[in-house]
Amino acid sequence: MFELKAQMYFAAAHHLLNYEGECENQHGHNWLVEAYVIGNELDKSNILIDYKVLKRELKSVLDLLDHKDLNELPYFKGISPSSEIISQFIYKKLREKISILSKISVWETPTSCATYYEN
């Protein structure tokens, strides 16, 4: 089994709903996103997926979020756009393009990350 990972960043503002603390106020992050793919079959070049393809498709999803107020986007309307929900959003969008996607990790800070995957 092979696993590859690509990383990219996006910047956005958000605030958490139904939360008591500083994060209920509007604030921003530079999120680090890690996209993982997994598989057994390599192509004729002995690669699982071209990093260029993975990064291009990841960027197309992150462009939907970059420099936005996440609370104002239709997908997050009325819900708390937490790192957990953001990782789920990215996973679902990217999985439409990359069938071997295995998980998405979203780092809100260098020490705090949420990961979404499906069984």
Contact 20, 80 (CB under 8 A): no
* pLDDT for the residue 72: 96
* pLDDT for the residue 119: 82
More confident residue, 117 or 23: 117
68 pLDDT more than 90: yes
| Residue whose token pair is 């990219």 | 8
Token pair, residue 27, equals 């604030």
23 pLDDT more than 90: no
Mean pLDDT (the chain, rounded)? 96
113 pLDDT more than 90: yes
Token pair, residue 55, equals 């990064």
Q: Is domain 2-116 annotated with CATH 3.30.479.10?
A: yes
Which residues touch 46 (CB under 8 Å, ≥6 apart)?
A: none
Domain ranges of the chain: 2-116
